[in-house]
Amino acid sequence: MCCDGELECPCPPVGLIDVVGKKWAMCVVTLLGYHGTLRFGPIQRSLPRVSPATLTATLRALEKAKLVVRTAKEPVRGAPVSYDLTARGKALYGNLLPLAEWLRSA
């Protein structure tokens, strides 16, 4: 947990905050949770101000955190690549959704 000092507190580990707190991470997770399987292009075009480098970094971080899986049918460059939430990612989405919706209304 991020608080390991004087007071107890139910907050999550800093490492996960770093992942979830990345500027586009929540957006990618909600996009995948809402739409299911998506490819790089549509994700990028839904996040108009993200540069490809940043989006790649975000996806890699989510992959490393086992929240997202990357699937390339053929190992050829330029071949379609799909992204999906893992079971863990879907669980996160489930817990994230009420928060996201509240934030939208607030």
Partner DNA sequence: CGGAATCCCATACGATACTG
Partner DNA sequence: CAGTATCGTATGGGATTCCG
Residues at the interface with its own copies (CB under 8 A): 1-14, 16-18, 20-24, 26-27, 30-31, 34-35, 38, 42-43, 45-48, 88, 91-92, 95-104, 106
Closer residue to DNA, CB minimum distance, 51 or 99:
51
Whether 93 contacts 55, CB under 8 Å: no
Q: Are 87 and 69 in contact (CB under 8 A)?
A: no
* Sites for DNA among residues 40-99 (CB under 7 A): 40-41, 49-54, 56-59, 70, 77-82
On whether the CB atoms of residues 92 and 67 are closer than 8 A, the answer is yes
